[in-house]
Structure 1
Amino acid sequence: MPSVSMRHSVRAIILDEDDRILLCRFAIPEPAGTVVWAAPGGGIEPGETLLGALRREVREEVGLMIEADPPHVWHQEVVAPGHAAGYDGVINDYFLVRTVVFEPRGELSDDELAAENISELRWWSLPDVSGCHGRDLFSPRDLAGLLGALITSGAPTRPVPLGL
């Protein structure tokens, strides 16, 4: 059986005091014009722990310093060649980070963010997410339902397994 190469990433579900979520706008070149709003985060580097990678990625992308160990709330595995360039799929581990609202500005320059296909950072309310019916996508696709459950019920005792 051929080996499957998965990109392992961490993502932060950053919620402010009004339960708004901070999302990154990823403008993906292929397929042409695809826009995906997703939680900040990224790939785990060799030798990094999940939380070490989470702290680094969030600091770099949005400028938030994560002090405590946030709860691990969702686990996603998507095996789909082409879903992540050079990989057969992705594994995303999501952590819940509560904070007061802040102006997102990380350590990365605009050019460095653009190299990662990030073109905007925006706070979204749950009604904004659930009411968005344009061509833009959310990741995970059922972000509104998952976010609603997280806001209503709090962090689960074990990470919830997700699909696409």
Structure 2
Amino acid sequence: MPSVSMRHAVRAIILDEDDRILLCRFTIPDPAGTVVWAAPGGGIEPDETPLGALRREVREEVGLMIEADPPHVWHQEVVAPGHSPGYDGVINDYFLVRTELFEPRGELSDDQLAAEHISELKWWSLPDVSGYHGPDLLSPRDLAGLLRTLITSGTPTRPVPLGL
């Protein structure tokens, strides 16, 4: 059986005191202009731990400094060649970060954010997420249900496995 090359990434479920979630609008050139609202985060560099990568990505993209070790709440494996260029798929580990509402502005310039395919940062309430019917995608696909469970049931004892 051929070996599968997966991109390992971390994502932050950033919730404010009113349970709003901070999402990034990613415009992915291939397939043609796919637009996805997803949690901030990105790939783990070879010399990084997952939490080190999470701290770096969140600081760069949204400007939040993560001090404590946030709980690991979701785990997602997507085996789909082409989903992440150069890989056969992606493994996303999601961590819950609680914070007060802040104006997201990371260390990256607008041009650097654009190079990361990020075009917007926005706080969403649970009704905003569950009632969204626009042209963009939300990731993971069942973000509303997952978020509702996380808010009402609290941090899971083990990371919840996710689909797409």
TM normalised by structure 1 equals: 0.99
5 Å-filtered alignment, 1:14-163, equals 14-163=14-163
- Is there any run of 5+ residues in structure 2 with no aligned partner, and where? none
Any idea what SS the aligned residue of 2:122 has? strand
Could you tell me which amino acid in structure 2 is paired with residue 144 of structure 1? A
CA-CA distance at 1:134 after TM superposition: 1.6
CA-CA distance at 1:131 after TM superposition: 0.5
Q: Deviations over 1:110-155 (max 9, x none)?
A: 1010001000000000000111112110110000000000000111
Distance 2:156 2:88 in 1: 29
Could you tell me which amino acid in structure 2 is paired with residue 76 of structure 1? Q
Any idea what SS the aligned residue of 2:87 has? coil
CA-CA distance at 1:23 after TM superposition: 0.2
Could you tell me which amino acid in structure 2 is paired with residue 5 of structure 1? S
Could you tell me which amino acid in structure 2 is paired with residue 124 of structure 1? W
Could you tell me which amino acid in structure 2 is paired with residue 93 of structure 1? D
Distance 1:54 1:31 in 2: 26
- Is there any run of 5+ residues in structure 1 with no aligned partner, and where? none
Distance 1:32 1:47 in 2: 33
RMSD over aligned CA atoms reads 0.6
TM normalised by structure 2 equals: 0.99
Identity %: 89
Any idea what SS the aligned residue of 2:96 has? strand
Distance 2:65 2:116 in 1: 20
Any idea what SS the aligned residue of 2:129 has? helix
Moved segments of 4+, more than 3 Å:
none
* Alignment: residue pair count: 164
Could you tell me which amino acid in structure 2 is paired with residue 10 of structure 1? V
CA-CA distance at 1:33 after TM superposition: 2.2
Could you tell me which amino acid in structure 1 is paired with residue 89 of structure 2? G
Distance 2:156 2:57 in 1: 23
Any idea what SS the aligned residue of 1:57 has? helix
